[in-house]
């Protein structure tokens, strides 16, 4: 009797929705962690610890070059924070793009698709402003814009997750 009820309930679960919910939720959480990492990077004065962009001291991994690490006025922690912020940003950006592709592939409700699509459309702007943050030596308006765009992306990703959940409950 219990087994029959469990199998009826399990049979009603839409596994693509669970997978999409996990994907979009993970990307939302990753975006939030990225924003926290950006705040930490700023708080420890590491915003210019990688003085060029998109590379860091002309290389992808400055820690593999002792001559760079010995000649910089920044600590290894500062350089790592900025370098990690850039790396996590790349991974989160790929995740946001993938979330949008999956939303369209699964033919999610229009509100879900539009909210994640807007987040994707904001990504190139965020990348450019992030680069300008470094190349323009942390100009306050650029740093503030970088945070503002990140907040909009987070908002649209949150909307994506909530709209997907609500679409399953009939709201």
Query: Quick one: pLDDT band at residue 19, thresholds 50, 70, 90?
Result: confident
CA atoms lying within 13 Å on the CB side of residue 98:
16
Contact 167, 112 (CB under 8 A): yes
Band of residue 50 on the pLDDT scale cut at 50, 70, 90: very high
- Cα three-residue angle 13-17-22, rounded to 5 degrees: 115
pLDDT at 16 over 80: no
**pTM (predicted TM-score):** 0.88
| Beta-carbon contacts of residue 63 (< 8 Å; ≥ 6 apart) | 69, 76, 79, 80, 83
- Say whether pLDDT at 2 is over 70: no
Domain ranges of the chain: 18-169
Residue-level pLDDT at 171: 67
Main-chain phi, psi angles of 13, to 5 degrees: -75, 130
Q: Residue 17 pLDDT > 80, yes or no?
A: no
Q: CA torsion angle for 6, 9, 15, 21 (degrees, to 10)? A: -110
pLDDT (average), residues 99-118: 97
Strand, helix or coil for residue 23: helix
60-70 confidence digits (pLDDT tens): 999 899 999 99
Residue 117 Cα distances to 5, 47, 53, angstroms: 39, 29, 26
Are 50 and 83 within 8 A, CB to CB?
A: yes
Q: How far apart are CA 132 and CA 47, in angstroms?
A: 11
DSSP classification of residue 75:
-
pLDDT (0 to 100) of residue 104 = 97
The yes-or-no verdict on residue 75 having pLDDT over 70 is yes
- The predicted pLDDT at position 10 comes to 47
Alpha-carbon span 150 to 148, nearest angstrom? 5
Q: Is pLDDT above 60 for 3? A: no
In the predicted structure, residue 4 carries a pLDDT above the cut 60: no
């Amino acid at each position: 009797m219990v087994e029959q009820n469990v199998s009826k309930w399990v049979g009603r679960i839409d596994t693509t929705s669970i997978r999409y919910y996990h994907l979009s939720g993970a990307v939302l959480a990753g975006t939030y962690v990225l924003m926290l990492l950006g705040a930490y990077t700023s708080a420890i004065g590491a915003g210019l610890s990688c003085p060029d962009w998109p590379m860091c001291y002309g290389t992808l991994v400055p820690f593999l070059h002792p001559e760079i690490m010995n000649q910089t006025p920044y600590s290894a922690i500062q350089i790592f924070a900025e370098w990690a912020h850039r790396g996590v940003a790349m991974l989160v950006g790929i995740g946001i793009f993938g979330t949008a592709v999956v939303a369209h592939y699964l033919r999610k409700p229009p509100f879900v698709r539009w909210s994640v699509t807007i987040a994707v459309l904001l990504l190139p702007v965020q990348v450019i402003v992030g680069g300008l943050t470094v190349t323009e030596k942390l100009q306050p308006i650029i740093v503030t814009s970088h945070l503002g765009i990140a907040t909009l992306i987070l908002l649209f990703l949150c909307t994506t997750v909530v709209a997907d959940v609500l679409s399953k409950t009939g709201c």
